[in-house]
Structure 1
Amino acid sequence: MGKQLKRYWGWVDWFVLVLRFLWFMLSIFLILNNGQIQYVGFILSWALLSYAIPQLFYLPGNVKPSLFVWSEIILNWSFNILLMLQVPDAVNHFTISILIIVFLAPKKLFMFLVPIIFIIFPVVVTLIVDQYSITDILLNSSIFFAFGFCFKVFFEQKNRLTTLVASIEEKNKILEHYNHQVEHVTLLEERSRMARELHDTVGHSLTASIVGMDAVRTLIKEDPKQAEQRLIELIQFNRNTLNSFRSTVHEMSMNELKLPLSDILQNVIRDFSEQTGTEINMDIQRVMKNTSESTKLALLRCLQEALTNAKKHGHASYIKVTLTFYEEFIQMIIHDNGSGTDKLIEGFGIHGMRERIEGVRGNLHITSKNGTGTTVRCELPYGRETYGTY
């Protein structure tokens, strides 16, 4: 009966609170401004109890509908009956209470509420106040019962729809994550396949070349002309092998490096933010310039390692990435609000990041302090490569 619902209040809950408070203030005003009411202190105390006790079961994060309904019926209605004995016009105070009770009542309580509202309540009121007929009481009760029930159905449907939308969004995120994993596995399988092809092609070609060169070495003394012909065939064979090797390497090249540097980094940031729930902002300063693929790759790996360390070791909730295009070099700064450390130890990941940055003539600086997070600064020249820049 006292099942607790932990939820935040919406505007309708505050509306109910305002209705109950207005009812309470109206009751107090009626009591204080009616000179015929006896035992004013007792009635005022009962009014306060009839308002405060049910409200204890209807608080933000602590809603107990059944307890609220029964305490409202027992305390509020008994107060109104007590008030009607001295002020017959107070019968109208029941209407707001009926609306709120119907709106909050669990479905299992309706088998009790219907006879109470439409049988017991009208009979009791007509016995106490002769000037009201059962028809009038039933009409007022029906109107506010209908209002409360309509509100109840509307917000139940709204909550179901909100829950359904949230469930669909959650499943979409799971599906996106699954698709990402499938793409990653497919990429790994493709790279593994290409690696096997390289191994088989290069190994077979080198073996054939070695055997052919051994034969040429034997033929040089015995039949120089045949040896020369055989050497020409070996040269052509190796040229064909080299072309095949270049074609395979070209297929294995990272297509993502064909994108602009800002798009590459934004893709990494977006994926990492979605997967970890970390807030990441990227700020691009000055006009973006052409960048070699080796520089793009170095910055990409640096960003991936920095983001991973910020979340894994620093438990950061916010990361800012600043990319600045200077005249002679690119600077990328990654700062997080993680725990930081006064004793930074360069592990395998940072060591690999430093080697990659220095491999393209760049510089890597990492500063960290306990309680203030970590800052990673990469500075690389733009670089030039024979196959083009982007």
Structure 2
Amino acid sequence: MKKVFYFMDWGIFGLRSYYYMLLLFHILTGNEYSPRLLVNIVWLLAAFIIPILFWFPQLRKNKEWFILLELLLGGSFYMKSFMQADHLGSVDYLIPSLTIGYLLTRKTAWTVPVLLLLPFTSMLFGKVTWDLALGSSSDNFLFSFIGIWVNFIAIAYHEKNKLAKEIDEQNKLLTQYAAEIERMTLLEERSRMSKEMHDTLGHSFISLIMSLDAAIALLDKNPNLAKEKLVGIRGLTEQNLDEMRDIVHKMGEEEDISLVDHVERLVNTFREHTGTVIRLTLNGTERTIRFEVRQSIIRVIQESFTNALKHGKATEIELSLHFSPSTLRVTVQNNGKPLGKIEYGFGLTTMKNRIEMLGGTFSISALAVTGAEVRCEIPLKGDTLDAKNKSTPS
């Protein structure tokens, strides 16, 4: 889409350049050398060169000054030529009118009536008839309207390109967010299954071993052979129990991942999918934190990242985790748009509730220049947050 936008800029610029070069060639070939000819040449070159000092495709974009100088220099040359009887019917201001219409802004909307009045003004000083002035004025208006229409198309393409880029960024966010939800869902399911297997299958195997022990002790017929076979079954059962325990421990490994490892994984994934610059700072010694608490902290960090990119249009994010003996402080800063009035919608309310349920504090504030800062402080003392080894030996 950008190529189309550039093409329109350069197309209008090329048409204007062609117009002035053609007019200059006409003056040079149609007149003998004289001081008047020299003045006309200098005047025409000034009308061509000086305005492009303020607007040049992709380099200079001061449209207001370009239009003003175009009217003063090019418009005055047009009026002077239009008033001369020998140029009647051969003088036009169509391409400059097209250019002015293309570059028109709200501040320069007054130039359209000026374009309409230029031919009529010439009637006061030259041999210009009403019909000729009306025709020239209509042509100027038509071409300025075409320029406005072309500009509208250029803006439409630009906005479409911008919207497509935003949609692409949102799709990346949604993809990353969906992948994280899927991973978290799988993690929770693995944790549930591992606990279920430990409580059910483990108990069944232990009961089986106890039953076999009783059977071995009660066997009277051919006790030697029976005991030999039962001992073999018992050994196999014990082996199966050990294998089941290994599976349970492997399934529960994701649950035992540290908070820092989880945060680093989230940062790397978010950086990869969105292209956002994220800097992670770790201070202090990490504490072992229960699974549920880690999940709440990760969710808050994830939502902060998403808000920074979605609402703040941030390109850089600073994430800091500070571990102290009694608290964990999480700070997320971004360089996005200036933060206006803070309204606690669903996302911020959910983040605040998550932290307050852990006994902590949540705040969001604007930075000194631009962007926003999310700050959370969570206590790490007591049974509420400290992770304790509560598993019972099997």
TM-score scaled by length of structure 2: 0.51
Which residue in the other structure is 1:125 paired with? 122
CA 1:55 to 1:43, structure 2 compared with 1: closer, same or farther past 3 Å?
A: same
- After superposition, give the CA deviation of every residue in 1:168-216 in whole Å (9 maximum; x if it has no partner): 2222222122111111212222222233234334653565466557x64
Aligned-residue offset at 1:54 = 1.4
CA 1:92 to 1:83, structure 2 compared with 1: closer, same or farther past 3 Å?
A: closer
Aligned-residue offset at 1:239 = 5.2
Aligned-residue offset at 1:141 = 1.9
With 136-145 and 33-42 compared, the bigger mean Cα shift is at 33-42
Q: C-alpha separation between the residues in 2 aligned to 1:51 and 1:90?
A: 22
Which of 70, 73, 76 is the equivalent residue of 1:72? 70
1:48 correspondence with 2:45: yes
Q: Percent identity?
A: 26
Which residue in the other structure is 1:344 paired with? none
Aligned-residue offset at 1:122 = 2.6
Check conservation: 1:7, 1:62, Cα contact below 8 A: no
Which residue in the other structure is 1:33 paired with? 29
Q: C-alpha separation between the residues in 2 aligned to 1:53 and 1:113?
A: 18
DSSP-derived class of the 2:31 partner: coil
Check conservation: 2:202, 2:241, Cα contact below 8 A: no
Check conservation: 1:202, 1:245, Cα contact below 8 A: no
Check conservation: 2:209, 2:234, Cα contact below 8 A: no
Which residue in the other structure is 1:106 paired with? 105
Q: C-alpha separation between the residues in 1 aligned to 2:206 and 2:242?
A: 16
Which residue in the other structure is 1:180 paired with? 179
- After superposition, give the CA deviation of every residue in 1:241-262 in whole Å (9 maximum; x if it has no partner): 949977x959x99xxxxxxxxx
1:127 maps to a residue whose letter is L
Q: C-alpha separation between the residues in 2 aligned to 1:8 and 1:235?
A: 78
Q: C-alpha separation between the residues in 2 aligned to 1:78 and 1:138?
A: 15
Q: C-alpha separation between the residues in 2 aligned to 1:158 and 1:272?
A: 29
Q: Which stretches in structure 2 are left out of the alignment for 5+ residues?
A: 252-268, 276-394
- Could you list the runs of 4 or more consecutive aligned residues of structure 1 that deviate by over 6 angstroms after TM superposition? 226-229, 243-246, 271-274
Once the two structures are superposed, the pairs formed by residues 113-262 of structure 1 within 5 Å of their partners are 113-119=111-117, 121-133=118-130, 134-201=133-200, 203-205=202-204, 207-208=206-207, 216=214, 220=217, 223-225=218-220, 235=233, 242=240
Q: C-alpha separation between the residues in 2 aligned to 1:165 and 1:123?
A: 47
Which residue in the other structure is 2:348 paired with? none
Q: C-alpha separation between the residues in 2 aligned to 1:22 and 1:132?
A: 29
For these two proteins, the number of residue pairs brought into alignment is: 247
Once the two structures are superposed, the pairs formed by residues 296-335 of structure 1 within 5 Å of their partners are none
Check conservation: 1:23, 1:93, Cα contact below 8 A: no
1:20 correspondence with 2:16: yes
Aligned-residue offset at 1:147 = 1.8
DSSP-derived class of the 1:92 partner: coil
1:11 correspondence with 2:7: yes
Aligned-residue offset at 1:100 = 0.8
CA 1:107 to 1:151, structure 2 compared with 1: closer, same or farther past 3 Å?
A: same
1:70 maps to a residue whose letter is L
- After superposition, give the CA deviation of every residue in 1:213-255 in whole Å (9 maximum; x if it has no partner): 7x649x84xx5549969x9599489759949977x959x99xx
Which residue in the other structure is 1:334 paired with? none
TM-score scaled by length of structure 1: 0.51
- After superposition, give the CA deviation of every residue in 1:53-108 in whole Å (9 maximum; x if it has no partner): 21122221432222221121122212323444556348734111111101111134
1:189 maps to a residue whose letter is E
CA 1:61 to 1:234, structure 2 compared with 1: closer, same or farther past 3 Å?
A: farther
CA 1:17 to 1:143, structure 2 compared with 1: closer, same or farther past 3 Å?
A: same
CA 1:52 to 1:8, structure 2 compared with 1: closer, same or farther past 3 Å?
A: farther
CA 1:136 to 1:30, structure 2 compared with 1: closer, same or farther past 3 Å?
A: same
Q: Which stretches in structure 1 are left out of the alignment for 5+ residues?
A: 1-5, 254-270, 278-390
Q: C-alpha separation between the residues in 1 aligned to 2:239 and 2:48?
A: 91
Q: C-alpha separation between the residues in 2 aligned to 1:44 and 1:168?
A: 52
Check conservation: 1:58, 1:65, Cα contact below 8 A: yes
Q: C-alpha separation between the residues in 2 aligned to 1:101 and 1:236?
A: 95
2:45 maps to a residue whose letter is L
- After superposition, give the CA deviation of every residue in 1:283-318 in whole Å (9 maximum; x if it has no partner): xxxxxxxxxxxxxxxxxxxxxxxxxxxxxxxxxxxx
2:170 maps to a residue whose letter is K
Check conservation: 1:88, 1:129, Cα contact below 8 A: no
Check conservation: 2:169, 2:274, Cα contact below 8 A: no
